[in-house]
Chain A
Amino acid sequence: MHTQHSYWQLFKAVYTKDVTLAFRQRAEIFNPLLFFVIVITLFPLAIGPEPALLSRMAPGIIWVAALLSTMLGLDKLFKEDYLDGSLEQLIASPYPLSLSVVAKVAAHWTISGLPMVLLSPLFALLMNLEQQALGATVLTLLVGTPLLSLIGGIGAGLTVGLQKGGLLLSLLVLPLYIPVLIFATSAIDTSMMSLAYGGQLAILGAMLAIGLVSAPFAISSALRVSVS
């Protein structure tokens, strides 16, 4: 019964638990992803198969779909742990709560964000996105989706104690998502004109850096308030 403190072990334990649970309840992984796929495949059907129009709209559609499907899984981020008391156990652990929170958000991103990043080249093709914009699409999603998970975590932490917090969660989180959306789609637009999009990507990266540093503390404070 020796105590051994290892931050890495805590991260691994919390992360694997969430990912294992997601794989056991398949719907949790496939719902957001399926939503992403459905939205993107329906657009060409609805607005007609004109290549120029589709390729003009592609960045916006891909990003709005990514944003909405991230939000789909957000209210479940802390819900189960709140209901079964695991959250109290995480608080009453000798490790900082913010670290457990980072692990949970990382698990959420692995389940919802990462598959979208990996599948995005396929959808870029489907939307007739120009070749030169492919890199920008994948890169903005790679930098942007973790940020969506981090920001969403703050809203999820604040609303976890509410019976039907879903609507409030969207209202809280959406305004914070808008800068991400603007810079990401602007980067893709710029790349379509064969211009350098490093600036927009750098801003997204900076936002991610700020998010990584500050969101875990905001989320853990929100959770402490929700649990009390």
Chain B
Amino acid sequence: MLEIKAVTCIKQERCLFESLSFSLQAGEIMQIEGPNGAGKTSLLRIIAGFSRADEGAVTFNGDDTQMNYDEFAANLLFIGHKSGVNPQLSAIENVQHWQQVHGVKDIGQTMQLLAKLGLVGLEDVPVRTLSAGQQRRVALVRLWLNNAKLWILDEPFTALDKKGVAQLQAQFQIHLERGGAILLTTHQDLTAQFAKLKTLVLEYRL
């Protein structure tokens, strides 16, 4: 599904990674590990198409992602450090806005989903008044509401409690069974058992 071909990234005259190649098939989950500053986020941003690699290419189903970006974007769900949740809007407004911007039809389950994620009674208050973990959950609702094939998640477990982490991994399983693929960075060990788990370790290079 996703193929990374000899990608090199240089930042501030430091080579983060060189000629990195790997591929990700449907049903596979890949965890990228490495110390702070090793280039995990840079790699994810290159794959998601926000930054250009200094060398190499990223292809999705055989097509270069940069050539036909909007088509790739239709199959992509990206949640980064900055999760794209507006603090002035309420949880429900944030979710609905995200759905409209991504062309996902509202099937009227948003309230139930927010309740499932422990946001009962908090749907209508501005997100800035919520705790860090609750704000994170508002962003992660998207995992239940999309039909993207490829999920790219940068530290999805940040600020989540144990129950939240478990819920998230259960949703990962469902996505993988549907034939999706997941690429994530996390410093925590995945507690759930994934049949097709790949690990990529990035070293801190000087």
Q: List residues of chain A with CB under 8 Å of any chain B CB.
A: 1-6, 9-10, 12-14, 17, 20-21, 24-25, 80, 83-86, 88-96, 100, 224, 227-228
Contact = CB atoms under 8 A, between A and B. Distances in A.
A1 B100 contact: no
B70 A96 contact: yes
A3 B74 CA distance: 9
B101 A90 contact: yes
B100 A10 contact: yes
A228 B97 contact: no
B147 interface: yes
Contacts of B105: 1-4
A92 B48 contact: yes
Interface in B37-96: 45, 48-52, 70-71, 73-74, 76-78, 80-89, 93
B80 A88 contact: yes
**Which A-B residue pairs are the 7 nearest by beta carbons?**
A85-B82, A13-B100, A94-B74, A228-B51, A89-B84, A85-B84, A2-B105
A9 B50 contact: no
Nearest to B96: A13
B107 interface: yes
The residue among B45, B88, B107 with the most chain A CB atoms within 10 A of its own CB is B88
A86 B84 contact: yes
A227 B80 CA distance: 13
A90 B100 CA distance: 11
Given A1-B147, A88-B50, A25 B45 contact: no
B85 A94 contact: no
B121 interface: no
B187 interface: no
Contact of B86 (A2, A84, A100): A84
A84 B48 CA distance: 17
B116 interface: no
B103 A4 contact: yes
A141 B113 CA distance: 47
Contacts of B101: 10, 13-14, 89-90, 93, 95, 100
Interface in B103-145: 103-105, 107, 145
11 contacts: A1-B145, A1-B146, A3-B147, A9-B103, A21-B86, A21-B88, A80-B86, A89-B78, A90-B101, A92-B73, A95-B70
Given A1-B145, A96-B70, A227 B50 contact: yes
Contacts of A228: 45, 50-52
B102 interface: yes
A85 B74 contact: no
A88 B76 CA distance: 12
Given A1-B145, A1-B146, A94 B84 contact: no
B86 A86 contact: yes
